[in-house]
Amino acid sequence: MDSITIGIVIAVAGLVFILMNQAAWNWVRWIGWAVGNLVIGSIILFLFNLLAESFSFEIPINPVTVTVTGFLGFPGLATLVIIKQFIL
């Protein structure tokens, strides 16, 4: 075998060893958690806007409102409603 093939084999083996380590997947878990919260926030806002449509009330779906609703949940949604109703 030439030295390039040996280097590739060592690099792949090292990568497999690192990926088998539980700590190497920690950042993937955090990113998945954050994306999941953003998706849940989007769904909550969408459903709220469907219900509030009959009252001519709407909270825009944008990155800020999705983040607030996704990470804070229903208290975040209530805060957005209060801000929209009384401040804006």
Give tens-digit pLDDT for 35-79.
Answer: 999 999 999 999 999 999 999 999 999 999 999 999 999 999 999
pLDDT surpasses 70 at 82: yes
d(CA 27, CA 29): 5
The reported pLDDT for the residue numbered 41 is 93
Amino acid at 48: F
pLDDT surpasses 70 at 33: yes
d(CA 71, CA 88): 22
**Cβ atoms < 10 Å from Cβ of 72:** 15
